[in-house]
Structure formats: structure tokens, C-alpha cells
Amino acid sequence: MEDKYIVALEIGSSKIKGAIGTVDASGTLSVKTVEEERLIDSVRYGCILNVLETATAIRTVLNRLEQREPQRKITGVYVAVGGRSLMSQEIEIERSLSSEMEITNALINDITDEALSNQLHERTIVGVSPKEFRVDNFPAPRVVGMFGSHISARLNLISCRDQLMRKLNMVLDERLHITINDLFVRPLAEADLVLYPEEKRQGCMFVDCGADTTTVAIYKNGVLMYLSTIPMGSRHITRDITALNILEERAEDLKIQGGNALTNSDSSNMVHNVAGVDFVQINNYVAARAGEIVANVNEQIKYAGLSPDKLPGGIVLVGRGAKLNGFDRRLANITTMNVRFGSPTNRIRILDGRLNGSDHVDVISILAAAAKEKNVCECMERIMPEYSYASASQHQPVQPVSEPAQPYQQPAYQQPQQPQPAQYQPAYQPQPVSQPAPAPYQQPQQQPYQQPVQQPVQQPQYQPVQQPQPIPQSAPYQPAYQPAQPQYQQPQQPIPQQPMTGGYPYQAGQQPYQAPQTPDNPYRTQARNITAAEAPAKPAAEQQQSRNWFSRKLGALRDRAVSLMTEPVEDDDPDNDN
């Protein structure tokens, strides 16, 4: 079976990333390449603001990816959804059975469909995650196969704003004509990639530090317990530094070069002065904003109804914002929890040695989530045949048929002959030419002179001019086409109106005002269509395609939710030494 090519696209607030991976028959993912394009103020808090600039940046990334695979063309992508509008909402669904019976997958599918059918105001459901199951009021981590007469399910509905989905579909489907194969919730996909199953069972916190937002996800007993998005990120630190009359690009470089999230009392090796730049004042801004982000992350534990001692798995950090100097140590000091940086597991192969897995967790997690699907969609179609060594070995070149070689025989020795002297002969000998005898001379004969005969001149005869005959009155001239003469109509005099008195439109006995009737304009409907403010309706084919995509997305969400409720707990990877 040939490997399938999948393409992942991550639209962030500061950059756009794209990645190509291959999935073999066993489901193993191999990451081939990752490309990135920087963005400035085109995407804010995960929502697209400038459609044109975002579409241009995405096309640039896709073109770079296609250059890595010149024999293929990108036709579809897997996309991640995140940002400030991402939130989780808990719902509870109960089922009372007629008698004690076995709980099957059909019942779980029915519960999942009911959860997806919930209508949220101006929000779109992008994910469903199980939180707790109870069978006859007893907790059950895996309910399929159990017997009972009553089942209750607490689920997390993960949703985002409708505007985010509309802008995403506008850029990819309408402008770039790229098919969206499926959508994934970025924080959940990243957590599945970098968290170990034992950490989820014990209890841990996952923190994604982005440019505009910081996402916090708390796991306990192997399920998602809490999900929240804090509207603060590393870009806020950069913009705080610009208060020192420094450009934002320069402030970003200074933050990476010498910024430190620790305060002066906590840091012993803080940079003070490098290349004439005073980092003491810069780090005052960095430490203040970093402390605010850390304090908000710590408060999420209380909002989830937990305490640090209930999360022995510690905190796992991802994102470039988390790589700020001293950020992990300050987070560990405030929360009193163990902190580590997340990276892809060893079950994912990265073929490009220049890639650092921890720097591209966001886009690699989308590839990993797509590789787990039952029906993985091909994202790149072949545009030219690939060269195969097997096919080359099957077609051997035809050898030309040659005559058998004769043994070599040495020629016999011959005595060289002495040249004989030749007699001299001129190269050219002229031949005598015979000339004819000249003819005798004859005197030319002269003719006698003859007088020319003069012809008489003939005078032209005079002919009288004929007068034109008048046209008879009995047959007047009539043209072939006569236009109809309009008939004159006496204009109607308008009815004089009496002045209104008393402040009322009309009085008793007075004729009400009637607007003059104008002839119907045949172009009125056409003009109304041209000046209409509403957008024209989409063709039926496009509407059907949009409905099919939405139904396919709901089907994929249901399959993922059912798999989370029915599949056994995944064991730890023994080969992973991280």
C-alpha cells in the first residue's frame, strides 16, 4: 500500500506554519518538512482580520511545501482551531433503559449525536471530550460492555465563535480553493502529542504560551477536566518594551537575546549591559508582564476546583513564549509544581534533521491527530510519475546483434615497388577550331518613296436633348415602410388640491391625495438586482458541498468522541526515554 501524504496548516497570531507528513499502512507518521511565514497584525487572538494578507501568506507557505515535493500538488489540508474564543462547556446527558442490558456502541453514538445537536448562540462546536460516565450511579471509565439500567454522561463541548469559522472557510475554500479535510482543536491535539498517559491519569496541567493567548488544559483520571484561554501572550511583553522608544521588531530581538522573566532578587546571572543596551530597564517590563501571565495560569487551578497537590504530573510547557529565559523557573516557584518542556514522542519520525521537534509541536500535533483517523484523506495529488528503481531494472536495454569476431591475422609482407619515372605531358592541349568561310557581300535594295494618303475628317452629328417626362399623378410615390403616427391625446389637468387646515391630512368630504400612476418600467427588476445590497445566492452545487463538508466534520467529531469513550487506555511507550 502506498503511503498517504497529509498536509497540516496552523494559522497563528504571529506566523503561519505548514507541514507535510506521510502515513504508512501501519499508521506510523513521518514528518518530511515544515515551512513558516511571519505575520504582523493580520491575525489577532486566533481570528483572521485581514483576509487578503492571510491568504497571501498561506499561499506562500503552500508554494514552499510544493517545492519540497515537486511531483505533487496540494489539494487539501488539515487545520487547527484555537484562540481566545475557544472555550469548553459542560453538559450532562442521561439515558434510562427499560431493563438491565448491555451498553453498546450504538448507545454511545446516540449520546454523542445528542451532544453535537446542541445549539449555541453564535458559536460552532468543534470538539467533544468525555468527562465522566456513571452506570447505575457508579463511575465507569469505559462503559461499553457494562450492564445497567441507567447511564449518565458528563461531556465537554468545545466551541469557538462563528466568525472564526467563516473567515477560515473564506480564506481556504473561496480564495485559495483548498479543501478543508478536517478540523482539530489545537490545545487538545498538542496535549495528546506531548503528554504521557500516566500523566493524564495522575493529573497534570498543559500550558501553551502563544503570541496573543495562553491556553491552559487540566487533565485528571485520563480525561479533560478544564480548558481555558487567557488573552495574554509573549507579544504583550514585546509591546511593553516598545514603551522605551524601541521598534517592535527590535524589541522582539532584545527580549530573546537578554530578556528574563525572573525578578532581580530571584536571578543571579541576569544580563545587565550588552552592546550598549541597558537590560535592567528592559527586564523590569519583561518580569512584570511575565509575572502577570504566571499568576493567571496559577489561578486556573483554583477555577478548576483542584489544588497543586492533586496534580502530581506537574506542568508541561509548549510554545515559543514559554522559552523566555526564567519563565519555567518562575512558574515552578509560584505554583510549587514540577515544570518540563513538551516535545513529540519517539513514535513520530522526523526525516529532516534540521527540524527541532519542540519548536514545531503545534503543526506536528495536527499531523499526528490526522494520522490517527480511520479514513486518512490524501492531501497531495500526483502531477508527474515518480522514478522507480524496480521499473528501471525490469526494462533492460536491448543489445544490438553483432557478427562473431574473426581471429586476427597478420598480413604478409610485400616488397615495396619503386615508382617508374613518367614522361612529361602538358595538362592542357588546345584543339584547332575549324571556322566557316565568309559569305560574299550583297548591296541592300532601296524601296521607292510613296506619298501617305490623307483620310477626310468626319464631323459629329447633332442630336437634340430629350426632355424628362412628368410622373403621372395617378401613381403617387409610397415608401416601403411607414411608421405608425402617434395619436395626440389631450393631457389631463391635475385636480387642484385645497389647502389643509386644522393640522390633519385631509378633511371630511375632501378627496385624499393619490400619487400619479407612472407607466411600468420593464428594466425596474434588473436595476433592483444590480443595486441590491444583499449578496447573490450561491449555486445549489456550492451549497450542497458546504452542507456535505459540515456533515463530514460532524461525523469526524462523533467518531473521535466515540473512540475516546470506547477505546482502552493507552499504555506508556516503553521506548520513550523522555
Q: What is the pLDDT along the chain (578 residues), one digit of tens a residue?
A: 689 999 999 999 889 999 999 999 888 999 999 999 998 888 988 899 999 999 999 999 999 999 999 889 999 999 999 988 898 889 999 999 888 889 888 888 898 888 888 888 889 999 888 888 899 988 887 888 899 999 999 999 999 999 999 999 999 999 999 999 999 999 999 999 999 999 999 999 999 999 999 999 999 999 999 999 999 999 999 999 999 999 988 999 999 988 999 987 565 555 555 666 778 889 999 999 999 999 999 999 999 999 999 999 999 999 999 999 999 999 999 999 999 999 987 788 999 888 888 899 999 999 999 999 888 999 999 886 555 444 444 545 545 545 555 555 656 656 666 655 555 555 555 565 555 556 666 666 666 666 666 666 665 565 655 665 555 554 555 555 555 555 555 555 555 544 444 444 444 444 544 544 545 544 444 333 333 333 344 455 544 554 445 555 555 666 666 666 565 545 444 444 44
For every residue of 191-221, DSSP letters joined together read: HHHH--HHHHHH-EEEEEE-SS-EEEEEEET
Strand partners, 219: 204, 224
Whether 105 contacts 147, CB under 8 Å: no
For residue 136, which of 104, 179, 96, 107 has the smallest C-alpha distance?
A: 96
Q: Is residue 271 part of a domain?
A: yes
Query: Domain check: are 334 and 273 in the same one?
Result: yes
Whether 389 contacts 28, CB under 8 Å: no
Determine the Cα–Cα distance for residues 234 and 286; give it in Å rounded to an integer: 9
Query: Domain check: are 150 and 214 in the same one?
Result: no
How many CB atoms within 10 Å of residue 563? 13
Query: Domain check: are 215 and 150 in the same one?
Result: no
Q: Is residue 281 part of a domain?
A: yes
Instruction: Specify the CATH number for the domain of residue 258.
Output: 3.30.420.40
Q: Please say which residue of 316, 342, 368 terminates a domain.
A: 342
Amino acid letter, residue 290: A
Determine the Cα–Cα distance for residues 381 and 562; give it in Å rounded to an integer: 31
Query: Domain check: are 223 and 105 in the same one?
Result: no
In sequence order, what are the residues at sequence separation of 6 or more whose Cβ sits closer than 8 angstroms to the Cβ of residue 23? Answer: 3, 4, 6, 29, 30, 370, 371, 376
Q: What is the predicted pLDDT for the residue at 189?
A: 94
Whether 226 contacts 88, CB under 8 Å: yes
- C-alpha cell read off for 408: 586476427
Strand partners, 23: 4, 29
Angle among Cα 188, 189, 194 to the nearest 5 degrees reads 100
Q: Is residue 355 part of a domain?
A: no
Query: Domain check: are 201 and 322 in the same one?
Result: yes
CA neighbours closer than 13 Å in the CB half-sphere of residue 268 = 0
Whether 4 contacts 20, CB under 8 Å: no
Query: Domain check: are 104 and 223 in the same one?
Result: no
CA neighbours closer than 13 Å in the CB half-sphere of residue 385 = 4
Instruction: Specify the CATH number for the domain of residue 91.
Output: 3.30.1490.110
Furthest-apart CA pair in the chain: how many Å?
Answer: 155
Q: Name the 3-class secondary structure at 246.
A: coil
Q: Name the 3-class secondary structure at 253.
A: helix
In sequence order, what are the residues at sequence separation of 6 or more whose Cβ sits closer than 8 angstroms to the Cβ of residue 228? Answer: 87, 88, 215, 216, 300, 303
Alpha-carbon Rg for the chain, nearest whole angstrom, is 47
In order of 79, 191, 316, 555, the CA distances from 179 in angstroms are 10, 26, 33, 17
Query: Domain check: are 103 and 238 in the same one?
Result: no
Q: What is the predicted pLDDT for the residue at 458?
A: 61
Q: Please say which residue of 158, 187, 213 terminates a domain.
A: 158
Q: Rounded to two decimals, what is the model's pTM?
A: 0.68
> What phi, psi does 237 have (nearest 5°)?
-65, -40
Residue 241 burial by CB count (10 A; 0-12/13-18/19+): exposed, middle or buried? buried
Q: Is residue 128 part of a domain?
A: yes
Q: What is the predicted pLDDT for the residue at 164?
A: 92
- C-alpha cell read off for 576: 520513550
E-state strands within 342-467:
349-350, 380-382
- The boundaries of the domain holding residue 131 are 87-158
Q: Is residue 34 part of a domain?
A: no
Q: Output DSSP code: residue 164.
A: H
Amino acid letter, residue 473: Q
Q: What is the predicted pLDDT for the residue at 230?
A: 94
- Domains: count for the chain: 2
Angle among Cα 411, 417, 420 to the nearest 5 degrees reads 155
For residue 357, which of 43, 347, 204 has the smallest C-alpha distance?
A: 347
- C-alpha cell read off for 86: 475557544
Would strands 214-220 and 223-230 be described as parallel, antiparallel, or unpaired? Answer: antiparallel
Q: Is residue 547 part of a domain?
A: no
What is the SS3 string spanning 85-148? Answer: CCEEEEEEEEEEEEEEEECCHHHHHHHHHHHHCCCCCCEEEEEEEEEEEEECCEECCCCCCCEE
Query: Domain check: are 204 and 150 in the same one?
Result: no
How many CB atoms within 10 Å of residue 99? 5
Determine the Cα–Cα distance for residues 133 and 558; give it in Å rounded to an integer: 17
Query: Domain check: are 318 and 217 in the same one?
Result: yes
Amino acid letter, residue 80: A
Query: Domain check: are 113 and 222 in the same one?
Result: no
> What phi, psi does 468 have (nearest 5°)?
-70, 140
H-run or E-run covering 152: strand 147-161
Q: What is the predicted pLDDT for the residue at 508?
A: 45
Q: Is residue 70 part of a domain?
A: no
Q: Is residue 511 part of a domain?
A: no
How many CB atoms within 10 Å of residue 381? 11
Determine the Cα–Cα distance for residues 275 and 279; give it in Å rounded to an integer: 10
Query: Domain check: are 134 and 201 in the same one?
Result: no
Query: Domain check: are 219 and 110 in the same one?
Result: no
